Amino acid sequence: MRAHLTKKIAAAAMLLASTSVAHAGDVEVLHWWTSGGEAAALNVLKQDLQGQGIGWTDMPVAGGGGEAAMTTLRARVTAGDPPTAVQMLGFDILDWAEQGALANLNDVAAKEGWDAVVPAALQGFAKSGGNWISAPVNVHSTNWVWANKSILDSLGISEPKSWEEFEAAMAKVKAAGKTPLAHGGQAWQEATMFDGVVLSTGGADFYKKAFVELDSAALGSATMVKAFERMATLRANVDENFSGRDWNLASAMVINGDAAFQIMGDWAKGEFLNAGKEPNKDFLCFRVPGSAGTVSFNSDQFAMFGVKDAGAMADQGAMAAAIMSPSFQSAFNVVKGSVPARTDVPNDAFDACGKKGMAELAAASDSGTLVGSMAHGHANRAAVKNAIYDVVTAHFNGEYDAKTAAEELVSAVEGAM
């Protein structure tokens, strides 16, 4: 199946290389940033380009994990009608680069000095064969908890530092008649929680062993069983209507005081800010208890598809340069909830959660505890990620107990490799 798809993509890539953008001076952008906070952040980029006389044709595809957007992209490229630029994550970028479909951004990267300011972990996904093939917009991290401060204060709950304290806090919220954990029952959301839970259970080295090296002993270990047991605890603390709920609606439950906690990447902060909430006053942000000192990351990047038309290439270069400018990196990430993809952006404009995220990302990078997010395509390729999704979601929905889930995880990963 993959070989067949590869041939179709390669053929389409040859076709699109001779195809110009339909409207000179416009960029058609495929993305999945459709929530209120995400749309506000994306508007920063639109306005930047409009100021340069470059029009924006929006192609949003809803779905917080990006799976629907990637399905749409494959159909467009196979038909020989690619967008100008596409929001992508991790190994998806490298897969498209291997097909020869992506534009070379070396000229703008050299002019703007990207090599010196983009962290090596991000360059691992923004470069292929030594060539720049995408422009990183941000760095997100996934092992965050977002909490309603009013609920916690009213119940006398301090920020939990350990998993045991987190369990006790959720029990106290539940006893008070509130929903402890806001969650949307979608596979990518459960996998996002699993990122933080595995880090809290086994630490960064175990996480790398299991999800990056795909070591069978780690995947089926007692530590992984314990991680699944913790996921079962989380399942016991969500409301009965969680199935199919979008992530931003789960965030709204915390914002509105209907739930105490949400485990979600730092894009959730954009929803709080868009609702007029302030960190440390209305909401708290902290790492999944037990995972302090570790950071699981993913980086939204815009990849440009190869074109021959000089005007189209110039527009792509202008978009890439705009994305990587320090002023945009600050303005965008302040709104989005993420942190800049370049190391030379000051933190002055960022709020308390943003400053915390920047400091923790730098510390984790220095200490070797910065790991690529399994849930968001930065630990392994899509086939393996999707196999893990299946097991995690099946367990969360009661199909497996923790021991069986760990056994199934080993089999699923081996079958997907």
Residues 132 and 209 reside in one and the same domain: no
How many domains is the chain built from?
2
Which ranges of 176-284 does DSSP label H, i.e. alpha helix?
A: 187-207, 216-219, 222-235, 247-255, 268-274
CATH of the domain at 291: 3.40.190.10
Query: Structural domain of residue 133, as residue ranges?
Result: 2-140+299-358
Q: Would you state the pLDDT for residue 308?
A: 77
- Asked if 207 and 371 count as a contact pair (C-beta separation under 8 A), the reply is yes
With a CB cutoff of 8 Å and minimum separation 6, the contacts of 285 are: 144, 145, 146, 147, 266, 269, 279, 352, 353, 356, 357
Q: Would you state the pLDDT for residue 64?
A: 66
Residues 11 and 102 reside in one and the same domain: yes
Least confident of 21-30, 244-253, 314-323: 21-30
pLDDT tens, position by position, 153-188: 999 999 999 999 999 999 999 999 999 999 999 999
Can you spell out the DSSP letters for 275-322?
Answer: TT--BTTTEEEEEPTT-TT-EEEE-EEEEEB----HHHHHHHHHHHHH
Residues 135 and 145 reside in one and the same domain: no
Q: Is 31 helix (H, G, I), strand (E, B) or coil?
A: strand
Residues 147 and 249 reside in one and the same domain: yes
Q: Would you state the pLDDT for residue 25?
A: 66
- Asked if 184 and 246 count as a contact pair (C-beta separation under 8 A), the reply is yes
Confidence of residue 121 (pLDDT cuts 50, 70, 90): confident
Query: Given a cut of 60, is residue 12 above it in pLDDT?
Result: no
Closest by CA position to 71, among listed 37, 30, 99, 22 = 30
Residues 282 and 331 reside in one and the same domain: no
Residue type for position 255: I
Q: Name the domain boundary from 358, 375, 407.
A: 358
Residues 151 and 136 reside in one and the same domain: no
- The b/e string for 95-128 (b: 16+ C-beta within 10 A; e otherwise) is bbbebebbbbbeebbeebebeebbbebbeebbbb
Residues 28 and 135 reside in one and the same domain: yes
Sign of the torsion angle spanned by Cα atoms 216, 222, 223, 228: positive
- The b/e string for 282-304 (b: 16+ C-beta within 10 A; e otherwise) is bbbbbbbbbbbebbbbbbbbbbb
Q: Would you state the pLDDT for residue 80?
A: 85
Q: Name the domain boundary from 358, 378, 401.
A: 358
pTM: 0.84
With a CB cutoff of 8 Å and minimum separation 6, the contacts of 370 are: 121, 204, 294, 295, 297, 361, 364
Confidence of residue 401 (pLDDT cuts 50, 70, 90): very high
